[in-house]
Amino acid sequence: MSSPETRSSQTEEPIVRLRNVSKEFPGVLAVDGVNLEIKPGEVHVIAGENGAGKSTLMKLLSQVERPTSGEIWISGEKARFHGPRHAQALGVAMVYQEFALAPDLSVAENLFLGREPARAGLVNRREERNRARELLERVGLDINPNRLVSSLTVAEQQRVEIAKALAIQAKILILDEPTATLAEKEIESLFEVIRDLKSHGIAILYISHRLDEIFRIADRVTVMRDGRIVDTLPVGELDEDKLVRMMVGRDIENLYPKAEAEIGDVVLRVEGITRGDVLKDCSFEVRAGEILGFAGLVGAGRTELARAVFGADPIDSGRIELDGREIRIKSPQAAIDAGIGYLTEDRKGEGLALQLGVDKNITLATLPAWAGLVNLKAERETAQHRSDQLNIRTPSIRRRVQMLSGGNQQKVVVAKWLETNAKVLFFDEPARGIDVGAKAEMFSLIGDLAKEGRAIVLISSYLPELLNMCDRILVMHEGQVAGVLSREEFSEERIVALATGAKEAAA
Ligand SMILES: Nc1ncnc2c1ncn2[C@@H]1O[C@H](COP(=O)(O)OP(=O)(O)OP(=O)(O)O)[C@@H](O)[C@H]1O
Ligand SMILES: [Mg+2]
């Protein structure tokens, strides 16, 4: 008898078998001679540094990209390359980081797009709705299937994507950094769904940079480096140190190197910022050399507060002082001119010019507005320096940012802000999608910026990051500042209590 737990036994026929699979892009061998087997009912994590080839490998499997060489076998048959729809027909479903749902269609319509349950050519709406309800229930979503996808939260949209995989009776579900935009509660409930799929024999291929998560959900882990597989191991044979070593090829002593910066005068003072229901009377200050954390649940208003200070959204009331003088910020450009930088959490939407090169992107925020001429040589040297420092993986710094892996794009955004003379820097989820090695480097750079006397605001949903890096942590709850903790007062329980509005418990 095979219980769900023992399904992925050694004898079972793998769902997927990759044989010597390679993918070459101009100048990059993204996937290099990969051999891999995925068993039914296993959660198989793919880990590795930014640019290691994880996403590309998944795209080969879901037939978004055609392999340069090698064979892919699915359910014991050699798969021919016919594009994503064909891969779906073979039972391969992929949930992208940027979801692929149609926002202006209903949930039900999205679930059956192109495959409506039809009778004599007619779409049967009622049947569609009932079937949609069943699928949504299986992924733990209690919503009306008639709702428009655009009205759903990110976490809900992700569930719809997974329900869609169930709708096509996927045998293997690929999740590329699925928790990057989720709150802790949503992560736990995603894991419940994954466990359920697993117990039905569906294999999960899971890409993640979060070590804690890997140990919570994985059955086996495959580590990639430079397009090749370093090893595949059962999770029980790994610990964090070993995993990190396999990924980056060396030990990392300290993931969060907290710089001992001297804390000076108040640089930025924000008083009573209010914007509709989103921000209610928010005040805070941050000093030179200080790292102030913003904690809170997703949607609590942390990003909104940063955007308001940065002039990205209009405010109803409130005042902002920089170096003791009141300033009026009407636009992001005005904020940059005044000396305030904001590294957005939405790197694709706002942080980068995807069509331009790495070099141009890095120097974008600093290009002197007064000069019609740009000093190309200096620009390239600067870009090269930052690119080396952050270990940005690209065959050339002139390569279009679009071609870079997700994590390397994020590093370009960071490099860009390091180049400015900003006195105050907001980092919004800077570690999202970044590999462990680069994370440590980036936090060390953030520490260096503080040491230079800049004031830093660090927004993060990952508490260990805040607890280790910050001098003080401001906790937001429903658009308000629920409390500010100093280092002696730091504790996860306290932050969670404030973030969830349990004020008494925190007192
Ligand atoms: N469409 C493309 N054109 C050219 N090069 C590409 C393309 N897609 C990926 N690459 C390159 O292939 C390599 C592997 O990229 P991939 O996106 O698979 O990395 P990854 O492991 O998913 O990294 P990350 O953790 O940063 O998401 C990188 O060097 C990347 O620049
Ligand atoms: Mg990737």
Residue-by-residue DSSP string for 414-456? HHHHHTS--SEEEEESTTTT--HHHHHHHHHHHHHHHHTT-EE
Rounded to whole angstroms, how far apart are CA atoms 313 and 335? 12
pLDDT in tens, 455-474: 999 999 888 899 999 999 99
CATH of the domain at 14: 3.40.50.300
CA 123 / ligand 2 centre spacing (Å): 37
What percent of the chain has pLDDT above 90? 47
pLDDT in tens, 73-130: 999 999 999 999 899 999 999 987 666 788 888 888 888 876 655 554 556 777 788 8
Rounded to whole angstroms, how far apart are CA atoms 407 and 33? 23
Residues 6+ apart with CB under 8 A from 123: 116, 117
**Last-in-domain residue among 183, 216, 248:** 248
Rounded to whole angstroms, how far apart are CA atoms 443 and 446? 5
Q: Is residue 330 part of a domain?
A: yes
Domain hosting 55: range is 4-248
Q: Is the pLDDT of residue 1 over 50?
A: no
**Residue with more model confidence, 441 or 46:** 46
Do both 365 and 319 map to the same domain? yes
CA 296 / ligand 2 centre spacing (Å): 27
Q: Which residues pair with 296 in a beta bridge?
A: 476
Do both 237 and 312 map to the same domain? no
Ligand nearest the Cα of residue 96 is: 2
Do both 163 and 272 map to the same domain? no
Instruction: Provide the b/e sequence for 378-388 (b: ≥16 CB within 10 Å).
Output: ebbebbbebbe
Nearest Cα to Cα of residue 239 among 211, 210, 219, 217: 211
Nearest Cα to Cα of residue 435 among 90, 55, 2: 55
Rounded to whole angstroms, how far apart are CA atoms 432 and 461? 10
Do both 326 and 433 map to the same domain? yes
**Residue with more model confidence, 454 or 435:** 454
Length of the chain, please? 507
How many C-beta atoms lie closer than 10 Å to residue 171's C-beta? 19
Q: Is residue 258 part of a domain?
A: no
Q: Is residue 256 part of a domain?
A: no
**Last-in-domain residue among 193, 220, 248:** 248
Q: Which residues pair with 174 in a beta bridge?
A: 94, 205
State whether the Cα torsion 213-408-33-178 is positive or negative.
positive
Ligand nearest the Cα of residue 53 is: 1
Q: Is residue 238 part of a domain?
A: yes
Q: Is residue 255 part of a domain?
A: no
Q: Is residue 348 part of a domain?
A: yes
Model-level pTM? 0.75
pLDDT in tens, 160-204: 999 988 888 899 999 998 887 777 788 888 999 999 999 999 999
What percent of the chain has pLDDT above 70? 90
pLDDT in tens, 359-411: 888 877 654 444 445 567 777 888 888 888 888 888 888 898 888 887 788 78
* Per-residue model confidence (pLDDT) at position 31: 97
Q: Is residue 253 part of a domain?
A: no
Q: Nearest 5 degrees, angle CA 158-CA 227-CA 218?
A: 45
* Per-residue model confidence (pLDDT) at position 375: 63
Do both 238 and 341 map to the same domain? no
Rounded to whole angstroms, how far apart are CA atoms 493 and 491? 5
Do both 39 and 186 map to the same domain? yes
Do both 272 and 242 map to the same domain? no
Do both 442 and 473 map to the same domain? yes
**Last-in-domain residue among 248, 281, 298:** 248
Do both 236 and 315 map to the same domain? no
Contact (CB, 8 A) for 483 and 506: yes
Q: Is residue 63 part of a domain?
A: yes
**Residue with more model confidence, 202 or 414:** 202
Q: Give nearest CA residue, ligand 1 atom 29.
A: 51
Do both 405 and 490 map to the same domain? yes
Do both 190 and 125 map to the same domain? yes
* Per-residue model confidence (pLDDT) at position 125: 73
- How does residue 8 score in pLDDT terms, banded at 50, 70 and 90? very low
How high does pLDDT run on average in the chain? 86
With 0-12 / 13-18 / 19 or more C-beta atoms within 10 angstroms meaning exposed / middle / buried, residue 24 is middle
Count of structural domains, the chain: 2
* Per-residue model confidence (pLDDT) at position 321: 96
Rounded to whole angstroms, how far apart are CA atoms 323 and 268? 6
Instruction: Tell how strand 325-327 and strand 340-343 pair up.
Output: unpaired
CA 56 / ligand 2 centre spacing (Å): 7
Q: Which residues line ligand 1 (CB under 6 A)?
A: 25, 28, 30, 48, 50-56, 393, 403-408, 435
Question: Which of the listed residues 22, 61, 403, 414 should we mutate to test ligand 1's pocket, taking the one with most ligand atoms within 8 A of CB?
Answer: 403
Do both 242 and 280 map to the same domain? no
Nearest Cα to Cα of residue 36 among 22, 59, 20: 20
